[in-house]
């Protein structure tokens, strides 16, 4: 829905004119530069949406407009309005100030630390409690004063508060009073549209009984917001909720193995992945669905961001968010899993979404697990025509769907995701486990990959010690680095898979690779399958493989050069890209020369292919950083850096695979 901005509107954080974005939960309008900082904070701090280029439910947009025009920004800048603060030198940024550190530090203090929010005076007892604030919210939502309710929410009032005397939540009260904008605000702050009152009636029931039909229908939409958003992302349609609550797109099955030696039965793997998803308990399934929802929001906002930016002046500090920022309320394991979602290419991500939609419907309808002989296993009634086609891997470069402008923007994002996915096969569990602890800043991607490389160096040193010890077997140990890496599996008490899963310390979250087609049995075989599906055959060691120590030494040199490149990327030293890439290519060539030209093992062949192709691609990308000719288009250094980092990641991954395979073969 389009929105015509008034000339008087300015950015809430730096006063730049004509802000194009909004923070929905803060009720403020923000400019492009400030928006980049908001997005880096995460949706738990600020939920951003473009005013013109994003899809808007009309009443949600009206809620934001009302808050912005009624001075919601004064809630977040209360103490800055005190004249004493001006005298002390504390001020908000100007449009001309730098994004980093001036604007970013102010925005973090304003919304993350709530440094300028009005602090309630203490009383003789324990002060104003959350319960007191929640009771005030419960009463206030019957009125049209949105800013009052936002102020209460900012102070800690609970949107899902259940009034002990009245037996209702604030959303029940707003629904009965017909306050649709209050309902929108409460839902944004986490109110449950399906929560029952003391008699089992929902807010939708209250709205219908009071004659507020539009509000009742909107509450139904809010209740199914997650699955509606996922379906719309893939096929551009939402259910009307009168004839059904789910639209489940269908993946066009024209995929082909990317590695010639890969001979995986994709339908069998899809069924195995589906069974693992169905085996998740409801809490873990809900966490996975919410994380995928956040990733959809990130990708859609990225598409809008890239569409609306002036690429000739775009600089690195005004960047798109490369993956979901850290939410401190979640475990480190879950945060790692959320960030790994960004590495799924368009087809892989679409497959995961379809599986989630299918199982969400099955769980809501209370159906048992479907027959494992059903290749789709979607739990859909035959008489329901709720399938829309989603393009196959061959089509993702052109378009997932072509129904509207938003879908065109998503296609651009799909192109970007596909072009950066340089691996030689579907994303695997072991690749998924490669992700290390990530940082919340915009430099987190570089920092993260440097940690991966540091960890690889430590792993290599450990392997050297093992080699010197003699032929003691590994006993099936995975060479995946630190044991604190994420274990995205079902908790032990909930497992339904093979015995190999018991090797993992599963204390949280889920297996996000379950829709990418890997069975539990294959996970137990170790990392040698990562490169493209080749499996190391048990039996006699391969005599054509080089000495393990030689491979380790060459890998150390590759890793050292990658670290140098990542430091250059972190420090924005783009002129160092070319010499660094040349060093990496030379080190990769030396490492590859240790292996026979036609290795007997498929896994070695695929890993060498990934190693060589990634090194060549790295050279091509790094050359783009060289000074351009006069009149040539300006280089998009943000996009270039992401491509360079992606290549470095794949080189390190392939090198590690070769070390793992060589070590295992020589130990046999």
Residue 189 is part of a domain; what is its CATH number?
A: 1.25.40.20
Whether 523 is in a domain gets the answer no
Q: For residues 97 and 655, what is the distance between their CA atoms, to the nearest angstrom?
A: 44
Instruction: Specify the pLDDT at position 605.
Output: 86
Q: Are residues 198 and 135 in the same domain?
A: yes
Nearest to 57 by CA among 276, 254, 222, 265: 222
Mean of the per-residue pLDDT values of the chain: 74
Instruction: Specify the pLDDT at position 262.
Output: 39
Whether 325 is in a domain gets the answer yes
Q: Are residues 279 and 358 in the same domain?
A: yes
β-strands 28-30, 21-23: how paired?
antiparallel
Whether 343 is in a domain gets the answer yes
Q: Could you tell me the mean pLDDT of each successive run of 10 residues in the chain, 668 residues long?
A: 58 96 98 94 96 95 96 94 66 92 94 89 63 96 96 95 96 98 98 95 97 97 96 93 91 48 55 85 94 96 84 50 92 92 90 93 76 33 39 37 38 36 37 38 48 60 54 28 26 32 30 35 36 38 77 86 84 85 92 87 86 89 80 76 82 85 74
The domain containing residue 26 runs over which residues? 21-112
Instruction: Specify the pLDDT at position 483.
Output: 25
Q: Is the pTM of this model over 0.75?
A: no
Phi, psi at 245, each rounded to 5°: -105, 0
Q: For residues 140 and 173, what is the distance between their CA atoms, to the nearest angstrom?
A: 9
Instruction: Specify the pLDDT at position 158.
Output: 96
The SS3 call for residue 30 is strand
Which residues in 476-509 are b (16+ Cβ under 10 Å) and which e? Answer: eebbbbeeebbbbbbbeeebebeebbeebebebb
The domain total for the chain is: 4
Whether 155 is in a domain gets the answer yes
Q: Are residues 562 and 604 in the same domain?
A: yes
Structure tokens at 653: 């991954």
Q: Are residues 569 and 610 in the same domain?
A: yes
Q: Are residues 89 and 132 in the same domain?
A: no
For residue 222, CA distances in Å to 4, 27, 260, 387, 397 come to 25, 18, 46, 22, 32
Whether 574 is in a domain gets the answer yes
Whether 82 is in a domain gets the answer yes
Q: Are residues 222 and 285 in the same domain?
A: no
Interval 243-287: pLDDT, tens: 899 999 887 654 444 443 333 445 677 778 788 888 999 999 999
Q: Are residues 561 and 661 in the same domain?
A: yes
- The Cβ-side half-sphere exposure at 44, using a 13 Å CA radius, reads 13
Q: Are residues 289 and 183 in the same domain?
A: no
Instruction: Specify the pLDDT at position 107.
Output: 96
Whether 507 is in a domain gets the answer no
β-strands 389-390, 250-251: how paired?
parallel
Structure tokens at 73: 């920004």
Residue 656 is part of a domain; what is its CATH number?
A: 1.20.120.330
Q: Residue ranges of the alpha helices (H) in 365-443?
A: 405-420, 429-432
Whether 41 is in a domain gets the answer yes
Interval 573-620: pLDDT, tens: 888 889 999 999 999 999 999 988 888 888 888 889 889 888 998 998
Instruction: Specify the pLDDT at position 498.
Output: 33
- How big is the chain by its Cα radius of gyration, in Å? 27
Q: Are residues 662 and 554 in the same domain?
A: yes
Q: Are residues 35 and 107 in the same domain?
A: yes
Q: Are residues 156 and 58 in the same domain?
A: no
Q: Are residues 349 and 291 in the same domain?
A: yes
Instruction: Specify the pLDDT at position 491.
Output: 30
């Amino acid at each position: 829905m389009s929105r015509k901005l008034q000339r008087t509107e300015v950015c809430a954080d730096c006063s730049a004119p004509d802000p194009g974005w909004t923070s929905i939960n803060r009720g403020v309008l923000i400019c492009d530069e400030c928006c980049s900082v908001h997005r880096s904070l995460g949706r738990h701090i600020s939920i951003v949406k473009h005013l013109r280029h994003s899809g808007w439910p009309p009443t949600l947009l009206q809620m934001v407009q009302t808050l912005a025009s009624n001075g919601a920004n004064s809630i977040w800048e209360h103490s800055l309005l005190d004249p004493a603060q001006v005298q002390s030198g504390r001020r908000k940024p100007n449009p001309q100030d730098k994004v980093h550190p001036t604007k970013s530090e102010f925005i973090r203090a304003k919304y993350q630390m709530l440094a300028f929010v009005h602090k309630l005076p203490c009383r003789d007892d324990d002060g104003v409690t959350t319960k007191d604030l929640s009771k005030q919210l419960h009463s206030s939502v019957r009125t049209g004063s949105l800013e009052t309710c936002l102020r209460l929410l900012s102070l800690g009032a609970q949107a899902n508060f259940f009034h002990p005397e009245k037996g209702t939540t604030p959303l029940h009260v707003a629904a009965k009073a017909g306050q649709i904008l209050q309902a929108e605000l409460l839902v944004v702050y986490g109110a449950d549209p399906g929560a029952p009152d003391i008699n089992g009636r929902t807010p939708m029931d209250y709205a219908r009984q009071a004659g507020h039909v539009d509000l009742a229908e909107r509450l139904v939409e809010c209740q199914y917001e997650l699955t509606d958003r996922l379906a719309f992302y893939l096929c551009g349609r939402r259910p009307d909720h009168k004839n059904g609550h789910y639209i489940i797109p269908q993946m066009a099955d024209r995929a082909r193995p990317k590695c010639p030696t890969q001979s995986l039965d994709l339908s069998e793997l899809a069924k195995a992945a589906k069974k693992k998803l169905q085996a998740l308990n409801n809490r873990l399934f809900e966490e996975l669905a919410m994380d995928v929802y956040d990733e959809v929001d990130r990708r859609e906002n990225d598409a809008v961001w890239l569409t609306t930016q002036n690429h000739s002046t775009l600089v690195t500090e005004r960047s798109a968010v490369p993956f979901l920022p850290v939410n401190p309320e979640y475990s480190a394991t879950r945060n790692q899993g959320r960030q790994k979602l960004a590495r799924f290419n368009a087809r892989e991500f679409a497959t995961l979404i379809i599986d989630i939609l299918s199982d969400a419907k099955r769980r809501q309808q209370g159906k048992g697990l479907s027959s494992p002989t059903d290749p789709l296993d979607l739990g859909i009634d035959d008489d329901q025509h709720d399938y829309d086609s989603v393009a196959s891997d061959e089509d993702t470069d052109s378009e997932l769907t072509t129904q509207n402008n938003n879908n065109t923007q998503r296609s651009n994002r799909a192109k970007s995701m596909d072009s950066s996915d340089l691996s030689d096969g579907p994303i695997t569990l072991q690749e998924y486990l490669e992700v290390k602890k990530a940082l919340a800043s915009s430099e987190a991607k570089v920092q993260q990959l440097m940690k991966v490389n540091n960890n690889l160096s430590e792993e290599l040193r450990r392997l050297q010690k093992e080699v010197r010890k003699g032929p003691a077997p590994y006993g099936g140990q995975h060479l995946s680095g630190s044991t604190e890496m994420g274990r995205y599996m079902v908790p032990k008490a909930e497992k339904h898979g093979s015995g190999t899963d018991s090797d993992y310390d599963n204390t949280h979250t889920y297996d996000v690779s379950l829709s990418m087609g890997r069975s539990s049995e294959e996970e137990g075989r170790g990392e040698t399958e990562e490169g493209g599906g080749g499996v190391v055959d048990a039996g006699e060691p391969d005599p054509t493989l080089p000495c393990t120590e030689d491979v380790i030494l060459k890998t150390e040199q590759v890793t050292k050069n990658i670290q140098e490149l990542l430091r250059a990327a972190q420090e924005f030293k783009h002129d160092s890209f070319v010499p660094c890439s040349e060093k990496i290519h030379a080190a990769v060539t030396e490492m590859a020369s240790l292996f026979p030209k036609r290795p007997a093992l498929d896994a070695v062949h695929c890993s060498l292919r990934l190693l060589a192709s990634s090194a060549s691609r790295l050279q091509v990308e790094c050359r783009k950083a060289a000074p351009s000719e006069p009149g040539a288009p300006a280089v998009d250094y943000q996009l270039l850096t992401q491509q360079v980092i992606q290549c470095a990641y794949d080189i390190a991954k392939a090198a590690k695979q070769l070390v793992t395979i060589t070590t295992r073969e020589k130990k046999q």
